[in-house]
Amino acid sequence: MGHIYLTRPLGDVVEQFRQQLPAQLRVHHTSEFPPDRTELLEAVRGAGAIISLVTDRIDAEVLDAAGDQLKVVANVAVGYDNIDLDAAAERNVTVTNTPGVLDDAVADLTLALLLATTRRVAEGDRFIRTGTEWIWSPEGYVGLDVSAGATLGIVGLGRIGMAVAKRAQAFGMNIVATGRRAHDDDARSFGVRPASSMHELLRVADIVSLHCPLTPETKHLIGAEQLASMKPGSYLINTARGPLVDEEALADALDSGHLSGAGLDVHEFEPQTNSRLRTMEQVVMLPHIGSAGDATRNEMAALAFRNTIAVLSGEQPLTPVE
């Protein structure tokens, strides 16, 4: 059957599943860094299953290095842009992901970034830490009132986008969204208005938040032209995938003052971050921690293990990528 290769230690959840696994589990030696390419190609040799993370590029070369007995690649993420799906399908390898279990965690972080950016939380924190003398001022760190009828534009009203809409409704925001589900009853119950087009969403939103997958079609979904269409003084939030945004164009839009700020959990050339954006006070940048709630991370890992066990046992996986 071949071993199960897990590309990082994932804490206690590994021990919970170890006894139930139908094959030997081999785990990469450290959670700090992923296996490098040579280590990955070597470690997958003879594997029946690979449990991968977003940092692992699983392409034809890796699948071939594993060999014919490889049955499943279980990604510990809902996004699967790190996996070559065509190459997997050609080799009859099932790919699974972890949809649903991380919606709340990512939506929470989206709101955290939205508030941190519009209300200048990180900027204020950095200022306090300088030890500079200060006193309350009527103009000090004034930002956008999100609860006073600001409009949130959700690009991709899927599982996470919907969880963001639910929260934004509680804040009293107007919500406009793209995606098929923008016409659903759920969306209506959260006060979502379907956008007539992406262009309309960009034009009316005070804050644009991205929640669509990274695909060849969505790379640079937000480039110079889209940024120019955005409302003057608006904000961009990205907790989806870095390459959705052309970061140099974003830096230009922020430099010119056309955009007031940006909150980025993910980065175009991760783990590298844009040196211009890093110097901007109006930008909040996080190290890709959207799903980083303790229980959420455990549920993601558990779902990846369940998918692996199902496929290796000849059953249907719980959450295949289709």
Contact residues toward ligand NAP (CB under 6 A) are 78-79, 99, 102, 106, 156-161, 178-181, 211-215, 217-218, 239-241, 265-266, 288, 290-291
Tally: H helices and E strands in the chain:
13, 12
CA distances from 155 to 164, 181, 201, 229, 236 (A): 11, 11, 8, 14, 11
Shortest spacing between CB 270 and ligand NAP, in angstroms: 10
Which residue has its beta carbon closest to ligand NAP?
Answer: 158
Shortest spacing between CB 210 and ligand NAP, in angstroms: 8
- Residue number with CB closer to ligand NAP (32 or 217): 217
Sole residue written with tokens 């209300």: 119
* Tokens describing residue 98: 């972890």
Shortest spacing between CB 68 and ligand NAP, in angstroms: 30
Please tell me which residue in 57, 220, 258, 288 is annotated as part of the active site.
288
Please tell me which residue in 120, 159, 181, 241 is annotated as part of the active site.
241
Q: Are the CB atoms for 227 and 249 separated by under 8 Å?
A: yes
241 noted as active-site residue: yes
Distance CA 291, CA 81 (A): 16
- Residue number with CB closer to ligand NAP (4 or 207): 207
Closest Cα partner for 270 from 289, 294, 292, 293? Answer: 289
- Residue number with CB closer to ligand NAP (66 or 106): 106
Shortest spacing between CB 303 and ligand NAP, in angstroms: 13
Helix (H, G, I), strand (E, B) or coil at 222: strand
Closest Cα partner for 175 from 144, 145, 221, 207? Answer: 207
- Residue number with CB closer to ligand NAP (160 or 312): 160
267 noted as active-site residue: no
The phi-psi region of residue 35 (left if phi > 0; otherwise alpha if psi is between -120 and 50; otherwise beta) is: beta
Contacts of 209 (CB under 8 A, 6+ apart): 110, 114, 152, 153, 154, 155, 161, 164, 237, 238, 239
Contacts of 24 (CB under 8 A, 6+ apart): 3, 4
Shortest spacing between CB 62 and ligand NAP, in angstroms: 20
288 noted as active-site residue: yes
- Residue number with CB closer to ligand NAP (48 or 307): 307
Please tell me which residue in 203, 258, 270, 276 is annotated as part of the active site.
270
Residues with a catalytic annotation lie at 241, 270, 288
